[in-house]
Amino acid sequence: MIRQNKRKWMGSLLLLITALVVSSTPFRDLSSFPRELRLMEGSLEQLRVSVPVMGTLINSNPDILHVNGTEAREVSVDLSRPMSVEPRRAGEAQLQVKWHNIPLTAVKVNVLPDLRLYPGGQSIGVKLQTAGVLVVGHHLVDDGKNKFSPGEQAGIHVGDMIIKMNDMYINDMNDVKKLINETGKKNHAVQLLVVRGKEKLSLTLHPAKDKKDSEYRMGLYIRDSAAGVGTLTFFDPNSKAYGALGHVISDVDTGQAIVVGDGQIVQASVTSIEKGQSGNPGEKFARFYNESEVLGNITKNTPFGIFGKMKDEPKRSYYQTPLPIALAEQVEEGPAKILTVVEGQKVEEFDIEIANVVKQHFPATKGMIIKVTDKRLLEKTGGIVQGMSGSPIIQKGKIVGAVTHVFVNDPTSGYGCYIEWMLQDAGVNVRGTAESRTNTTKAA
């Protein structure tokens, strides 16, 4: 009986000791130690084990990393103090922490090549040509006997993209009009190749002759282009790649993402601003400036913005030298800046707060919630306004992301996306993998 009570007492004591160890600060710090870490070449990081003992750190590749300023493979370290890790060149290394010969923890470090970009902030005019013609509606054609839509009868839906007519690729609405008239006069049907989502459909349409003007018609409203104003986010001086807007350009009628056939960006000048207020987020009004001088092309329209190549380094940059970037996991809550234009073509810097960051292991929009704190910007715009999307976000001297959306019921706040995801869509390689209040929103 005494032996049984002793075992129970020892078991309870062991559980108590285990609970105390697990709840202790050193154990919590040790358990939260990262298993994988991404660093940019030339940066400096501090690692904390927070165990009050002396230990040994084993560095598998001193050519890649220096620890506490030394390139030795084994370093004696005070585990109660932060360890400085300095990436020397791109590559991978393993850091293992031991106490005597007992392994405590280890981290795989992936050092990425140094990447520096010119932050944007300039207002740009966007001219986008669709890859074909987009169907945005049906209309009735009166042939003198009936009123009907030949396109609807052919099975064409709103949101469809017509890319071929009679085996000919079409580029604009003039091509469509000419071909429909020529085919209709011969009393022939038109063979269409239509893209609907991820499907390609072959459809047959019989043009109808409108009795009002004797023109042959499809009974469809179509669109072949889009235009607007946004903000340049970044320019990569090495690849000449750029990114802008931070969100997809969608058709105003169908809400579908526009498939890029061709496009250009040009300079734009802000002429006035409609100040935002609750329920009405406000807007930048701008005009295209010096349209004959094309700044770059548009090759992609994705959830993270528009992308392409620029001929030259952008003019009127706020920073005269490129800035490093922050990876998605390096963005922190706290003070930051945005670059944007509120008058003419002058890029200015304004204070914001990154109120919340969302941990993202894979590309996703709405990576952070931001709030405008700059009194002058609040007075001028009321916060975030449409046309401000793409404005780069700078934190601690690094480009961390871009403004993407404004909260309709609170124009002082909105969403931002991480610069890393924009760079992926721009084709700028950022290698490695990390371990990595409800509001209605509107594109800014």
- What CATH number corresponds to the domain at position 204? 2.30.42.10
Q: Work out the average pLDDT over 139-157.
A: 94
Do 165 and 313 belong to one domain?
A: no
For the chain, what is the domain count?
Answer: 4
| Residue positions annotated with a catalytic role | 247, 374, 389
- Say yes or no: 101 and 53 in one domain: yes
Name the nearest CA neighbour of 243 among 256, 234, 253: 234
How distant, in Å, are the alpha carbons of 349, 350, 433 from that of 376?
11, 8, 39
pLDDT digits (tens, 9 = 90+) for 298-337: 999 999 999 999 999 998 899 999 999 999 999 999 999 9
Q: Is 197 among the domain residues?
A: yes
- Rounded to the nearest 10°, the torsion over CA 83, 84, 90, 94 is -10
Same-domain status, 37 and 186? no
Domain end call among 203, 218, 233: 218
Please tell me the predicted confidence (pLDDT) of residue 126. 95
Indicate if 240 and 209 belong to the same structural domain.
Answer: no
The domain boundary, picked from 57, 80, 114, lies at 114
pLDDT of residue 436: 36
Residue 151 lies in a domain: yes
Residues 165 and 250 in one domain: no
Given CA atoms 349, 350, 351, 356 in this order, what sign does their dihedral have?
negative
CB 344 within 8 A of CB 380: no
Say which range, 263-277, 287-301, 423-437, has the weakest mean pLDDT: 423-437
Domain coverage including residue 66: 33-114
Q: Of 80, 114, 148, which residue constitutes the final position of a domain?
A: 114
Give the chain's mean pLDDT: 88
Q: Which of 124, 310, 126 is nearest to 225 (CA)?
A: 126
Residue 134 lies in a domain: no
CATH number, domain with residue 340:
2.40.10.120
Q: Is residue 64 part of a domain?
A: yes
**123 and 105 both lie in a single domain:** no
- 252 and 353 housed in the same domain: yes
pLDDT in tens, 71-86: 888 888 877 888 888 8
Do the strands 36-40 and 102-112 form a parallel or antiparallel pair, or are they unpaired? parallel
**207 and 275: one domain?**
no
Please report whether residue 2 resides in a domain: yes
User: In a 3-state reduction of DSSP, which class is residue 100?
Assistant: coil
